[in-house]
């Protein structure tokens, strides 16, 4: 009753054509209200499933990148150890390439996946690695490790 009186009061206060519109506004806006509700629901749903998917993609990509970088790190460390034991074991060109690979691995922006240079650095690393392996005449690949995409098959 209190509310009704309140409405009646505002009805009387705005006694022009606008006030009639006010009463009908809420029913006219039903469509808009429902649209807004639906939108908000969908948005929130999308936000949470998007986050989930993003987490999975991030995990997979992060793993792959990390694994590849780690592999190069390992190779570089072994090569550097060999050089320390015998500085003549590799040619100066190969040593220079190893040093360049070292710098690239260090400079890879591990914590900034959106950094534009990630593809360039990885491409350069792969090319240098292939050139070094070709010169040393060794086949080094890390496909002994199952990649996340392979895990399904193993199971």
Partner 1 sequence: MSLIDESFELREIQRLEGHTDRVWSLAWKPATGIGGVPAVLASCSGDKTVRIWEQSRLTGSFECKAVLEETHTRTVRSCAWSPSGKLLATGSFDATTAIWDKVGDDYECVSTLEGHENEVKSVSWNASGSLLATCGRDKSVWIWEVLPGNEFECVSVLQGHTQDVKMVQWHPSMDILCSCSYDNTIKVWAEDGDSDDWHCVQTINESSDGHSSTVWALSFNSSGDKMVTCSDDLTIKIWGADIMKMQSGDGIAPWKHICTLSGYHDRTIFSAHWSREGIIASGAADDAIRLFVPGEND
- Give the interface with partner 1 as residue ranges (CB under 8 A): 91, 93-94, 96, 123, 127, 130-135, 137, 139
CB of 153 to partner 1, least distance (A): 23
| Contact status, residue 105 vs residue 85, Cβ threshold 8 Å | no
64 neighbors 147 (Cβ within 8 angstroms): yes
What is the residue whose two structure tokens read 């399904």? 152
Name which of 16 and 92 has its Cβ closer to partner 1.
Answer: 92
Q: Are 81 and 74 in contact (CB under 8 A)?
A: no
* Residue 5 to residue 155: CA distance in whole angstroms: 70
Which of 104, 99, 89 is CA-nearest to residue 138?
89
Token output for 29: 């806006």
In the complex, the smallest distance separating the C-beta of residue 77 from partner 1, rounded to whole angstroms, is: 21
Closer to partner 1 at the Cβ: 80 or 95?
Answer: 95
CB of 96 to partner 1, least distance (A): 8
The nearer residue to partner 1, 99 or 110, going by C-beta atoms, is: 99
- Nearest approach in angstroms of CB 100 to partner 1 is 10
* Complex with partner 1: residue 8 or 127, whichever CB lies closer: 127
């Amino acid at each position: 009753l209190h509310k009704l009186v309140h409405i009646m009061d505002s009805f009387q206060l705005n006694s022009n054509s606008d006030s009639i519109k006010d009463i009908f506004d809420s029913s006219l806006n039903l469509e808009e209200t429902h649209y807004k509700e639906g939108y908000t629901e969908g948005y929130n749903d999308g936000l949470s499933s998007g986050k989930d998917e993003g987490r999975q993609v991030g995990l997979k990509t992060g793993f792959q990148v990390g694994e590849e970088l780690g592999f190069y790190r390992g190779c570089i460390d072994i090569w550097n150890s060999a050089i320390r034991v015998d500085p003549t074991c590799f040619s100066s060109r190969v040593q220079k390439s190893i040093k360049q690979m070292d710098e690239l691995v260090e400079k890879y922006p591990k914590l900034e996946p959106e950094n534009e240079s990630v593809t360039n650095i990885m491409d350069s690393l792969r090319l240098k690695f292939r050139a070094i392996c070709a010169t040393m005449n060794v086949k080094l690949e890390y496909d002994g490790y199952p990649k996340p995409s392979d895990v399904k098959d193993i199971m």
